[in-house]
Chains A and B, each alone.
Chain A
């Protein structure tokens, strides 16, 4: 892993929403990690754990409360910085940020809501080109039709309105629009969660193909662990806006360390006899409110292995083995083995 180039360095990123004078909601809390070039980076967690917010803060669709998002992609050179040095997206002006937008795109969960209902498919895609390139109308039309083909739609769909397409087709339009400007990084916010199983498989295959052909990095937000396991290279587990664990996908499923990861993976229903008699670590209770998060480890209220220290002290986030990070007091002694 270490020989890979870093595309994003996220450092101490926080995002809180002010609800009223006294109450703030901490959606993302002190999150730090790296995203490597060309990888598919998965983020999993329960509803409301801050996955989507994290994605949107990275894209600067929400302003970060504090922390840094350092980007080492091609846009850095356009803004007269070296790739190694990178640029902190949080400190850019609106105009500079627009320059970066070409590089980083987003695909949304609900394909129906993310397309303007009064805009044809062709216009939606060529709008991306209009905003970011200097192609003339004819060239835009040509590029758009090529893109439609790339994502498995037909050129006839150019003049269709979104409401005449199926969910899968709409998501293909969303993908076409995102890759239209040749980005290097795409945030996929639950991009396949709203689709049928068969369509989901097709879209995932399409995303795989595109990433191979175009040298893309994905930030894949999902609550579907099965999808994350097969699609992603590395997976990060979030809980209440905090990172619990980050490891290569295979390693995470083989050797899970954090008790939260454990219960999360156990909750996945399994077919066949293999899991029939296994003991499940089912989670009890609800996720605490992010408005008033628990002291100490955010997970201690539901953790089976909760110790005294967990209630008072927030565990540090550390690397316990190569590329495997965890934030849990159980592994305070840097020991790789489970206690």
Chain B
């Protein structure tokens, strides 16, 4: 009686869906490109070359302006766009993942405590409400303004920004699980709260957590791009998609590709993670559907 593990059966179901499979493959390719960036480009993303500013890429082959090797062209300081895209993706995805992880960890702890203990519910959820009332960007602005502009501070800001919505959703799920009969059954076996929370509530809330985590990665990548665009995220000259768009806006007419290329990268990544999250939700947690 061999049972397929929960994880494997969900992946199998996910790959049955064509759209989800395409998104999954795109995300995997993107991760390979970004993590193995030095393998796919020979240029330093920060190497300035004043002689080779604003050279277009492969689409302008016939004009003769294209530089050998720079297939996506160079930017306003003569840096290779392709390597900036790869190294910038590293930062964007890393900040996205890390802030999502921090956010979901704190959110899960708060959500589980609030859902499980009626006494803590009001205190925690009102605290979350206070965080929630700030528009996301404003909250991040506030934090970065207090702590100073740096990648770490931007990550902290984005993590905090996602805590309240995580906490709220997980609390809702825990409120449901708490009333299930198997929790009572396990309590009657002599289990304490910590045992029940860590072994049963968490395990049963896991599908919900995976779904909102996937969706949240997209949001976090958008957030770091937004902050960088506003000059509050990753400080120059480190490449980052939002930052690339921001510094290219002066040359919007002369070199539109400088905006379009990182823009497409952000859109593809965000859309893929959102679709994956959507499909995962259908598989893992049909109850979460609006």
Contact = CB atoms under 8 A, between A and B. Distances in A.
Interface of A: 59, 61, 94, 98, 101-102, 105-106, 108, 110, 113-120, 127-128, 131-132, 156-157, 159-161, 164, 174, 177, 181
A132 B182 contact: no
A94 B203 CA distance: 25
B187 to A, nearest CB: 7
Contacts of B184: 61, 108, 114
A115 B206 CA distance: 17
Interface string B71-103: 000000000000000000000000000000000
B189 A114 contact: no
A177 B189 contact: yes
Contact of B3 (A116, A164, A174): A164
Interface string B177-194: 000111011111111100
Interface of B: 1-3, 6, 180-182, 184-192, 195, 199-200, 203-204, 206
Contacts of B189: 101, 105, 127-128, 131-132, 177, 181
| Max chain B Cβ within 10 angstroms of own Cβ: one of A59, A108, A114, A161 | A114
Contacts of B180: 113
A158 to B, nearest CB: 9
Contacts, number: 68
A285 B236 CA distance: 80
A159 B195 contact: no
A128 B187 CA distance: 10
15 contacts: A59-B188, A98-B190, A98-B192, A108-B181, A108-B184, A110-B181, A113-B182, A116-B186, A116-B204, A127-B186, A128-B189, A131-B189, A159-B3, A160-B3, A177-B185
A221 B236 CA distance: 72
Given A108-B181, A120-B3, A164-B1, A61 B187 contact: yes
Nearest to B177: A116
A157 B1 contact: yes
Given A117-B204, A127-B199, A181-B190, 12 more contacts: A61-B184, A98-B192, A101-B188, A101-B189, A101-B190, A113-B182, A115-B185, A116-B203, A156-B1, A164-B3, A177-B185, A181-B189
Q: Which 5 A-B pairs have the closest CB atoms?
A: A101-B190, A113-B181, A114-B185, A116-B182, A106-B188
Contact of B185 (A108, A132, A159, A181): A108
A131 B182 contact: no
A76 to B, nearest CB: 17
Contacts of A114: 181-182, 184-185
Contacts of B200: 116, 119
Nearest to A187: B188
Contacts of A117: 182, 204
A160 B1 contact: yes
Nearest to A154: B1
A164 B3 CA distance: 9
Contacts of B2: 159
A316 B1 CA distance: 58
B46 to A, nearest CB: 48
A118 B1 contact: no
Contacts of B192: 94, 98
B29 to A, nearest CB: 32
A131 B206 CA distance: 23
Nearest to B4: A161
A98 B192 CA distance: 9
Nearest to A174: B185
Contacts of A119: 200, 203
Contacts of A113: 180-182
Contact of B204 (A108, A110, A118, A164): A118
A114 B3 CA distance: 20
B185 A106 contact: yes
Contacts of A101: 188-190
B125 to A, nearest CB: 22
A131 B195 contact: yes
Nearest to B180: A113
A119 B199 CA distance: 10
B173 to A, nearest CB: 13
Contacts of A174: 185
Nearest to A98: B190
Nearest to A97: B190
Contacts of A157: 1
Nearest to A60: B188
| Max chain A Cβ within 10 angstroms of own Cβ: one of B180, B181, B203 | B181
Contacts of A159: 1-3
A120 to B, nearest CB: 7
A110 B188 CA distance: 15
A142 to B, nearest CB: 19
B182 A115 contact: yes
B190 A61 contact: no
Contacts of B3: 120, 159-161, 164
A181 B195 CA distance: 18
A64 B85 CA distance: 66
A99 B188 CA distance: 12
Nearest to A163: B3
Contacts of B1: 156-157, 159-160, 164
Contacts of A115: 182, 185
Nearest to B182: A116
A127 B190 CA distance: 10
